[in-house]
Amino acid sequence: MSEFVTVSLAKALEMAREKQKEDSKPAWKRFYETHREHELARRREYRRQHKEKIAEYNRRYRATKKKKKAVYTDPTILFREAIRCST
């Protein structure tokens, strides 16, 4: 059984513009929005199954970041040490 809804012409045009605007999204975005829940479930499942790999990756990532924040060495100190070594 179908229902008929009566709307004003302005409201119908507004609804048509809204539909057209929604359809004008890029294809990748439409795909992403329709498959978002499936993708999130896939990621959760992967994280649940590979906890050790992810923990190791995070540990190495943080260690690398920590090494990059090494103590600042003054270039003049390095230059003085190079002079001492060469003499």
Residues 6+ apart with CB under 8 A from 15: 7
Domain tally, the chain = 1
- Tokens for 5, please give them: 């809804």
Tell me if 4 is assigned to some domain.
no
Nearest to 58 by CA among 66, 49, 68, 70: 66
pLDDT 10s digits, 19-50 = 888 777 888 888 888 899 999 999 999 999 99
Range of the domain at 51: 9-86
The reported pLDDT for the residue numbered 59 is 97
The reported pLDDT for the residue numbered 54 is 96
Average pLDDT over the chain, rounded to an integer: 83
The reported pLDDT for the residue numbered 83 is 67
Tell me if 58 is assigned to some domain.
yes
Tell me if 68 is assigned to some domain.
yes
Residues 6+ apart with CB under 8 A from 32: 39
The reported pLDDT for the residue numbered 55 is 97
Tell me if 1 is assigned to some domain.
no
Tell me if 2 is assigned to some domain.
no
**79: number of Cβ within 10 Å:** 10
Tell me if 24 is assigned to some domain.
yes
Tell me if 33 is assigned to some domain.
yes
Query: Which of 1-10, 20-29, 59-68 shows the lowest mean pLDDT across its residues?
Result: 1-10
